[in-house]
Amino acid sequence: MKQLWAPWRMSYLRGESHAPESGCIFCVGNSTEEDRSRGILRRGEHAFVIMNKYPYTNGHLMVTPYRHLSEIGDLTHEEGLEIHRLLVLCRKILGDHLSPQGFNIGMNLGEAAGAGIADHIHLHIVPRWCGDTNFMPVFNDIRIIPQHLEETYDQLLRAFSEIKF
């Protein structure tokens, strides 16, 4: 297995650079020009799928609404429904293409709950493999990413483009 360090995650975890200076990473606007550099994999009408650039494991995706909001109760019915549909799509694609043995799916609401970007809610989909946590106590928040981010992006982008939503 090819292994690659993700040392950039360290500064992220220390809270130094979790959002670009220009603002919220989830406020992406309508232009698709920067979708690749942002890691956007699929745009829906109300929400979209974006790859986590500081992944917990390889293939760590997030689903988030276009609207900048922090309260889950403020989601419209349409937003909530599409977030759920995108979640199911992510789970299928990750299952088909990365063959994980399990998933963690959830939201961290508020900084106290571990939300890196608390102001714009997002749903994490983290594929898991048995033994993928073994390194964590040793390296203390630096995780080993077995596949380069861009390689994973290309692989998943192809998968998203081939599947009907």
Which residues of the shown chain bind Zn ion in the complex (CB under 5 A)?
A: 24, 26-27, 68, 120
Indicate the residue among 15 and 23 with the shorter CB distance to Zn ion: 23
Q: In the bound complex, what is the minimum distance in angstroms from residue 20's beta carbon to Zn ion?
A: 11
Question: Shortest approach of Zn ion to residue 69 CB, angstroms?
Answer: 8
CB of 78 to Zn ion, least distance (A): 18
Q: Kindly state the smallest distance separating residue 117's Cβ from Zn ion, in Å.
A: 8
| Furthest-apart CA atoms within the chain: distance in Å | 43
Catalytic residue among 46, 60, 120, 122: 122
Residue 122: active-site member: yes
Nearer to Zn ion, 121 or 126 (CB): 121
Closest residue to bound Zn ion by CB: 24
Close Cβ partners of 81 (under 8 Å, ≥ 6 residues apart): none
CB of 12 or CB of 129, closer to Zn ion: 12
The residue among 27 and 105 lying less far from Zn ion, judged by its C-beta, is 27
Phi and psi (nearest 5°) for 98? -115, -5
Q: Which residue numbers are catalytic? A: 122
